[in-house]
Amino acid sequence: MGKKALFLLFFCVFCTGCAPDSGPVMAQKNEKIIWVELDSMRLLLYEDGRETLRFPIAAGARSSPTPVGIFRINRRFITELSGFGTRFLGLNVPYGDYGIHGTNRPSSIGGHFSHGCIRMYIQDAEKLYARVPTGTRVVIDGGPYGTFTTGLRTLSPGDRGSDVLQVQLKLIAHGFLSGWPDGVYGENTKQAVIAARKHFGLPAGHQVDWTLYNRLGMMQFE
């Protein structure tokens, strides 16, 4: 049985990051759930445990990946045709402004082209918008790379995402970083990376590259 089936049959699904709804989540009777599969580039809507809609999508580019985890729709708006298409559903991602929306670039559907948002064909976004209320849970599945979606990217100050959050968790576990991970590569994370690279005997710098991923014990996500 696949993980969507487990989720929709009221089993627990565990999020690997620290999203607002991380931890065990139970599907509720009559609940609507949006499930986004980044590896297959599709969005599915489940209503009362049954798949009712399925749409192709575009997702974040390698330099600006789509956040992975369990979130909720926390805002919405209708607009004239724009880069957001005509409909926007915002997600409560703690480290950035992300959402599910239409696009005026339909040729991007099926690829990694966005700044992290989920893009849909305009008519598909309008159908989804009409079916889901604010508060709907959204599960974004990173596929075989999990939190790292398309693989391990080199991280630098200013980057943000679920991969940054996972690196912060490792830095905390190794004692290089204190505080709560927020998914944003800021000054504290920079100093922690510099310290970690020095500790592991790596060339000085502030980038999280493959050598540091390896020393932090994260290469299983390769």
pLDDT tens-place string over residues 48-104: 889 999 999 999 988 888 999 899 999 999 999 999 999 999 999 988 899 999 999
Query: Which residues, other chains included, contact 215 with Cβ-Cβ below 8 Å and sequence gap of 6+?
Result: 196, 200, 202
Q: How far is CA 68 from CA 18, 160, 205, in A?
A: 10, 12, 27
Annotated catalytic residues are 101, 117
Three-state secondary-structure class, residue 64: coil
Q: What is the pTM of this model?
A: 0.73
Query: Which residues, other chains included, contact 191 with Cβ-Cβ below 8 Å and sequence gap of 6+?
Result: none
Domains 3-148 and 162-221 equal at CATH topology level: no
Q: Is 129 left (phi over 0), alpha (psi -120 to 50) or beta?
A: alpha
Range name among 37-41, 128-132, 190-194 with the lowest pLDDT average: 37-41
Q: How far is CA 110 from CA 37, 50, 78, 162, 170, in A?
A: 12, 24, 24, 21, 32
Q: How far apart are the first and last CA of the chain?
A: 25
State the Cα–Cα distance between residues 98 and 88, nearest whole angstrom: 10
State whether CATH 1.10.101.10 applies to domain 162-221. Answer: yes
Taking only the tens place, the pLDDT of each residue in 27-61 is 566 789 999 999 899 999 999 889 999 999 999 98
Q: Which CATH number fits domain 3-148: 2.60.40.1220, 3.40.1160.10, 1.20.950.20, 2.40.440.10?
A: 2.40.440.10
Residue identified by tokens 């599960």 is: 139
Residue identified by tokens 């993980």 is: 3
State the Cα–Cα distance between residues 197 and 94, nearest whole angstrom: 27
Q: Nearest 10 degrees: CA dihedral of 118, 123, 125, 130?
A: -170
Give the mean model confidence (pLDDT) for residues 188-193. Answer: 97
pLDDT at 150: 62
Q: For the chain, what are the domain ranges? A: 3-148, 162-221
Question: How many C-alpha atoms does 90 have within 13 Å on its Cβ side?
Answer: 10
